[in-house]
Amino acid sequence: MRTLSRDVRGRWWEGLIPLTTTPLADLSTARHWRDLATYLSLLKARSGLSYADLERRTRSVGRHGSRELKRSTVSDLLQGKRALPRPIVESFVAALDLPDTDRAQVLATWERIAAHADRRDGAPRFTDVSPRELGIHAAIRAPDTVDELPRYVSRCFDHELSALIRRGAEQGCFVLLVGGSSTGKTRSLYEAVRGIVPDWPLAQPATTQEILQLLHEPAEQTVVWLDEMHRFLGSTPPLTRAAVSSLKNARMIVVGTLWSEEYTARKELRPVGLPDQHADDRTLLELAEVISVEPTLREQERRTAERVAETDARIRIALHSRDAGLTQVLAAGPDLLHRWEQAPPYARAAITAAADARRLGVHTPLAPELLVDAMAGYLAPAERVTDTARWLDDALSYATKPVHGTVAALSPRPGRRPGTLAGYVAADYLAQRLRQVRRTHCPPDSLWEALIDRLEDTDDVRRVREAAAARMRYPLQERALRRLCTLGDDPAHVQLALLLVRQDRLAEAVSVLLHQAQERPDDDTVTDALRDVLALRGRSAGLRTSDPRDQIRLAELLHDGGETADLRVRAADGDLVAVDDLTYLLADRGFLPDLEDLADAGHRVAADLLAELLATHGRLDELAVRADAGDESAANRLSKLQADDAGSITTGVEAQIETLRSAVVEGRRHGAEQLTTLLFELRNDEVLRAEVDAGTQFAAERLIALKMTDCGRDWRAAVAVLRLRSYGLHADGSPADPVATP
């Protein structure tokens, strides 16, 4: 594949921008919104103004009577996929300080197009869009095949799917096909829609903002195509149930596809009291008519495939493969995996980085410059010595070469303007397989830093931040939060401050919040957080001693904002509810000395939980000592262990771990909770640490609790564990604590 040389890479745009003395275009020939949008794009390019510049120029009320131009608004304006609102166009040309004659020409063109444009003008009909443009994987090639797609092998759910689309043609619908990569979801959806409403206009939104824009331009008989719907879940602005319901009520056919693990992770309920980050997504998905697509063919479907294979060589080749199912083979999935395994160093680094980026939640393509930066951590020292200009050339010449002339390990994605490159993405099948193969491999610093520093999509950076937090990579989490602050993500300022508080960097936290309070004086979340941090600063003063026990109380105070400290005060005053709450909290965190004190003071719940922890961790000598001292809970637990032969917990444990790990891979929240709890009980530090590297929910908390149970009354060791909880790890797994860990 031809790539840009180092001298011009990153400056490809210069030849596309006209000189200021050259006329941009003759607006008298403009007939469509896209024509006007193209002209406005050239005006912006010639001006040299960034999206941020345009926003600043229109932020002050009264400037040319303009409205504030948000970055997303300008981006939508310059795409020209639909009618351009006049107030936005007026603000845009005003921000550019165009001469009056040029401004009048633009607005006159707007009036002319608006007067004659049909609401569907420029929208393609479904049947006019190629299968590849709709997201259908290119199929393997075979002798004597000329069609773009192999013949369709009907699926058992086709009748149900067609019925839903047919009903949607009358009253609107929201249909979602759920299954693994390369299982035929998009192809089945394509066949159903094409068979029922081939002439309907098609909307292929690239962002949630574009979906919401459809609400302002309601149009019946429109197909809204949401392939790979995970792109729109957890986004900002959010895609809500109310928005999709409005599209349905406008008699649109809304259809989409979603990976099984993405669907499962968002559908499961969180326990009461825990934050539910998927609440909006779950409510939205409950609106969908869901059809599950199995990874392999049923017997009836296979018989159909055998009949089709008599006249289609590609189906025949796929049926005879033993490496994967028919749909995966058609998409060249096994060969893609083999190509990754056999890739030379630079290609393997690029492919792995792109797949790992997907694993960390990045949905947008990786720009060439980002990809080069990311590759460094995947290369051996001798390979990093080579000029970076060669890295990408060597990588792309291999990684973008199609397998069987169809799908490649890395594919280029176009930018918003014709002739531009947005970046590269890993093939779906490969990305999903590497998500499993590399699940417990934490990506290197080079990928994290390249993503955080170079991504422009706020939702992507936010997901990378969440991935870092789940893996205890707190230095990277901080870096991502600071990047989000520069991108204008208001909640990031409070989140950054809370991270700094946990690390006892109170002065920095106050500074962050004060700066944001000045920028957003009406934001109550910032002022409330500032008040809480200042209060914590006062409460922490008395704990700043050399006594390790005071240091433990200080770490506890900063970690939970005083929740545990307040429970201790209420428990000391005789509040029995507070005693129980404190007991469960201490047990969950592995604070055995505190549990022992409560148990010795006669609290039965504390005694029960302490006995359970000692038993499951095999600390039978300590359990026996407590039983001999008259601890009834310890005696009962010891008796039960003896009756059960004390070793039953390990029976079939490997199979149990594998079953729970599979549940985690499938996105089942209870699988994560049960797996990490089991590993905690088994004291399996190594596997639990691997689950932290995988970003498994609850793994970080369980790992810290396990380390705390080992400390006993070794207060200095406990301080070291709590510092690990506060400062986390570097990408390579080494402690990020600025104080050497004993």
pLDDT tens, position by position, 531-572: 999 999 999 999 999 999 999 999 999 999 999 999 999 999
Cα separation, 302 vs 296, in Å, equals: 9
| pLDDT tens-place string over residues 650-707 | 557 888 888 888 888 877 768 898 999 889 988 889 999 999 999 999 999 999 999 9
Place of tokens 């969908």: 288
Please state, in angstroms and as integers, the Cα–Cα distance from residue 577 to each residue in 326, 380, 465, 559, following that order: 59, 57, 36, 22
Which pair of structure tokens corresponds to residue 594? 């505190």
Q: Which of 407, 423, 454 is the last residue of a domain?
A: 454
Q: Are residues 686 and 598 in the same domain?
A: no
Cα separation, 405 vs 581, in Å, equals: 62
Q: Are residues 85 and 138 in the same domain?
A: no
The residues facing 292 across adjacent strands are 178
Amino acid at 211: I
Q: Are the C-beta atoms of 528 and 510 separated by less than 8 Å?
A: no
Closest CA to 465 of 707, 695, 205: 695
Sequence-distant (≥ 6) Cβ neighbours of residue 301 within 8 angstroms: 153, 154, 155, 156
Q: Are residues 635 and 661 in the same domain?
A: no
Cα separation, 375 vs 569, in Å, equals: 52
Asked if pLDDT for residue 483 goes beyond 80, the answer is yes
Q: Kindly state whether residue 166 falls inside one of the protein's structural domains.
A: yes
Q: How far apart are the first and last CA of the chain?
A: 52
Q: Which residue has the higher pLDDT, 6 or 175?
A: 175
Q: How many domains does the chain have?
A: 5
Q: Are residues 43 and 160 in the same domain?
A: no
Asked if pLDDT for residue 3 goes beyond 50, the answer is no
| pLDDT tens-place string over residues 299-339 | 999 999 999 888 888 888 778 766 567 887 777 777 888 89
Return the H-helix or E-strand segment holding 173. strand 173-179
Instruction: Look at the alpha carbons of 650, 655, 657, 659 in this order and tell me if their dihedral is positive or negative.
Output: negative
Q: Kindly state whether residue 546 falls inside one of the protein's structural domains.
A: no
Which pair of structure tokens corresponds to residue 631? 């601890």
Q: Are residues 187 and 267 in the same domain?
A: yes
pLDDT at 72: 66
Cα separation, 657 vs 480, in Å, equals: 33
**pTM of full prediction above 0.95:** no
Q: Kindly state whether residue 423 falls inside one of the protein's structural domains.
A: yes
- Residue-range definition of the domain harbouring residue 18: 12-116
Q: Are residues 374 and 244 in the same domain?
A: no
Q: Are residues 593 and 622 in the same domain?
A: yes
Cα separation, 119 vs 82, in Å, equals: 8
Cα separation, 646 vs 402, in Å, equals: 57
pLDDT at 467: 97
Cα separation, 301 vs 326, in Å, equals: 10
Cα separation, 471 vs 468, in Å, equals: 5
Q: Are residues 132 and 246 in the same domain?
A: yes
Q: Are residues 173 and 102 in the same domain?
A: no
Q: Kindly state whether residue 553 falls inside one of the protein's structural domains.
A: no
Task: For residue 723, report the phi and psi dihedrals to the nearest 5 degrees.
Answer: -70, -35
Q: Are residues 279 and 205 in the same domain?
A: yes
Which pair of structure tokens corresponds to residue 215? 């609400």
Tell me the average pLDDT of the chain. 85
